[in-house]
Amino acid sequence: MILVQIDGLKAYYTVEQDGQFRNIRAVDDVSLEIEENDFLAIVGESGCGKSTLAKVLYGALDPALKIVDGNVRLAFGDYKYEISPKGNTLPEAWWERISYIPQGSLSALNPVRKIDQIFRDLLLSHNLPFDIKSIEEHLNLLNLSRQVLKMYPFELSGGMKQRVVIALATFLNPKIIIADEPTSALDVVTQNDILELLSLLHNSKKICFVFITHDISLIPNLANMMVVMYCGNFVESGTVDELFSNPLHPYTRFLLSSIPKIGDKTEKKPIPGSIVSLINPPSGCKFHSRCPYKSDLCGNSKPPMIKVGSNKHEVACWLYR
């Protein structure tokens, strides 16, 4: 069953530059379906729009960010809603149906509230009673002792804090969690623990994940679906197996070839050039200034996402038209 349907979504920030208002086209016409059992990984270079997409999916638009076209439709059984330029986000869905672990969430916990008070605030905002037994059981599932309830966030290690954030995000049994780089500030061992935890929650509680990461090497052990983002666009999507075994877009190939492997002494080639402006993006394929395979067509005409083969594989590149 489809949980999230993204259609032609465009979400821009409006910023003032040199006395003029300009649009940063952070999400610039993307479409995708996310099914209820998916663990979807989103990858791409810094600044390509991953966190912006996460914010829109959650409906957490900051004042500078506007949906200018397209929409996101979410369906949790009979409870359905749409996020669109009309701006009708529905916070009552938050935490109970959809949760969000924002980038930099280690600092998201209110520093002047103890963890039990933070749980109390969450429950109060949903008109639910504070039931210490069920909170303790939930913490136990996430390998956290009930002692953390009496602690302030600053008394917890980074790994414990991230577990608490995940405990809060999962406590009301959401169907989907948007996790934006949930392990980026953690050491490798703690990172592994947290990833195992996400896997456990996905498998045991059937929570769908949208997982944003810079670390592509984590994906095969976690996710079943994958999207590659470049400058506000999706350039390739499909199952993880398919994209790892048969990457087609030149950008995806660069990204995958950059994964370090133990014992591999071959020199890694950086992706040539740097990410282009999102205020005045180039015409045609936005990757053309960096692409070794570009043709005249690439600079003039934007390649659409086209289906290639099976495994939901789609790619936006004129090489496969």
Closest CA to 197 of 226, 224, 225, 177: 177
Among 4, 10, 11, 51, binds ligand ATP (CB under 6 A): 51
Rounded to whole angstroms, the Cα distance separating 140 from 8 reads 42
Q: How far is the CB of 45 from ligand ATP (least distance, A)?
A: 7
Q: Which of 27, 38, 26, 23 is CA-nearest to residue 71? A: 27
Q: What b-and-e string marks burial along 75-96, b requiring 16 or more CB atoms within 10 Å of the CB?
A: bbeeeebbbbeeeebeeebbbb
111 — alpha (psi -120 to 50), left (phi > 0) or beta?
alpha
For residue 294, the partner it binds in ligand SF4, ligand ATP, Mg ion, none, with Cβ less than 5 to 8 A by kind, is: ligand SF4
Q: Give the nearest distance from C-beta 26 to ligand ATP in angstroms.
A: 4
Residue 70: contacted member of ligand SF4, ligand ATP, Mg ion, none (CB under 5 to 8 Å, by partner type): none
Looking up tokens 């600079």 gives 299
Q: Which is nearer to ligand SF4, 140 or 258 (CB)?
A: 258
Selected binder of ligand ATP within 17, 20, 46, 245 (CB under 6 A):
46
Strand 79-83's sheet: what is its strand order?
Answer: 20-35, 2-17, 65-76, 79-83
Nearer to ligand ATP, 26 or 305 (CB): 26
Q: What is the 8-class DSSP label of residue 54?
A: H
Can residue 79 be called a binding residue for ligand SF4 (CB under 6 A)?
A: no
Q: Is 183 in the site for Mg ion (CB under 5 A)?
A: no
Compute CA distances 145 → 37, 94, 111, 115, whole Å: 29, 26, 20, 12
Between 46 and 204, name the residue whose CB sits nearer to Mg ion. 46
319 forms part of the interface with ligand SF4 (CB under 6 A): yes
272, 282 Cβ separation under 8 angstroms: no
Asked if residue 286 binds ligand ATP (CB under 6 A), the reply is no
Task: Tell me if 51 contacts Mg ion by CB under 5 A.
Answer: yes
285 binds ligand SF4 (CB under 6 A): yes
Sequence-ordered list of residues with C-beta below 8 angstroms from that of 150, at least 6 positions apart, any chain = 114, 115, 116
**Within 200-259, which residues bind ligand SF4 (CB under 6 A)?**
249-250
Residue 221, token pair as written in the block: 């052990």
Out of 4, 11, 13, 118, name the contact with ligand ATP by CB under 6 A. Answer: 13
Site map for ligand ATP, 90-129, x if CB under 6 A?
A: -------------x--------------------------
Q: Taking CB within 5 to 8 Å according to partner kind, which of ligand SF4, Mg ion, ligand ATP, none is near residue 48?
A: ligand ATP
When asked if residue 317 is in the footprint of ligand SF4 (CB under 6 A), the reply is yes
Give residues in contact with ligand ATP (CB under 6 A): 13, 15, 24, 26, 44, 46-52, 62, 64, 103, 278
